[in-house]
Structure 1
């Protein structure tokens, strides 16, 4: 994990601050142009491009040893643009999440965290999405190959 900047550290330890932490999401997939979203009321211009405002709430994962992290996102479904993009995608889009300060948008305070969009449900008001890792590494067999007399006869002499 990246160390946070001095400005972010001051903002976190201050009793009151004018700093605003923003979460930037970059959604990539071959079926759509790259989408950049930020949980802000106005666009944020960064060196990577302009991040469009999108009302969303994030629930960050717990830090547990026995569970892969997943991020739950609730996006307002008011303008239907995010829903339209989700409907046009076939396959799994990749999502990069970064936390920045509004005063210094090119400095990444946390991240980048690379996830896959695992699940998305929606209704008239909101889109609920789950970001996670594509491979469930905690449930993979190690070693990947089973050694049997058929595929490894030299071990069974």
Structure 2
């Protein structure tokens, strides 16, 4: 059973609510000097010179809310299909508002990891749902948007039971 705060539960069940759910993203890669932190809500103005920058201040995933805010990005989610024989995967579409975003995505040759948290805009430090240890499988870039496909490790391919019936582990079976 997943635990939700009372405010999140009331917001989900209300016909109309002033509570806004926000998704925070943390993208990590060994080549990055610091994780990329993104938010789906422009909660507050973080800077006005030289560019206007909005974002969300949260302490999720060890971030310092003052010096490491989650920067606002226009994002949408593509609902996964129910096709059989396909791995469980999700897709997020980020609006490529800056050439630097495209350059950064194209600069990696190995997989980055992504973690996501759902919070309420009024309480960004209280995590309602969290999804960690996922890998970015691909990044498709076209006409002003970046489509990130991500998935968890395929636990369906892990052996069950944990030990394999090999000669070294079960010598009596291989006489």
Tell me which interval the TM-score lies in, with the shorter structure as reference length: 0.7 to 0.9
Tell me the distance in 2 between the aligned counterparts of 1:62 and 1:10.
Answer: 29
Q: Which residue of 1 aligns with 2:37?
A: 36
Where do 5+ consecutive residues of structure 1 fail to align? none
Counterpart in the other structure of 2:46: none
Measured on the aligned residues, the alpha-carbon RMSD in Å equals: 2.8
So what's the TM-score if we normalise by structure 2?
0.75
Q: Which of residues 43, 46, 60 is equivalent to 2:58?
A: 46
Matched-pair contact (CA < 8 Å) for 2:41–2:121: no
Instruction: Measure, in 2, the Cα distance between the counterparts of 1:146 and 1:121.
Output: 42
- Indicate the SS of the match to 1:100: strand
Deviations 1:23-74 (CA, angstroms, capped at 9, x unpaired): 1000011111210001123310012231001111023557999865321101
The reply to whether residue 23 of structure 1 matches residue 23 of structure 2 is yes
**Counterpart contact for 2:75–2:94, Cα < 8 Å:** yes
Give the alignment of 1:125-140 within 5 angstroms.
125-133=144-152, 135-140=153-158
Q: In structure 2, how many angstroms separate the alpha carbons of the residues matched to 1:57 and 1:86?
A: 18
Identify the residue that residue 9 of structure 1 maps to in structure 2.
9
| Contact 1:31 1:88 survives alignment (8 Å) | no
Distance 2:21 2:121 in 1: 6
2:75 paired residue number: 56
Greater CA drift, 92-101 or 108-117: 108-117
Residues 98 and 61 (structure 1), Cα distance of their counterparts in 2 relative to 1, 3 Å cut: farther
For the structure 1 residues 107 and 64, does the alpha-carbon distance in structure 2 shift closer, same or farther, using more than 3 Å as the test?
A: farther
* Structure 1 residue 101 corresponds to structure 2 residue 120: yes
Q: Which runs of 5+ in 2 are unaligned?
A: 43-53
Assess if the C-alpha contact under 8 Å between 1:117 and 1:132 holds in 2. Answer: yes
Q: Compute the TM-score of the two structures, normalised by the length of structure 1.
A: 0.83
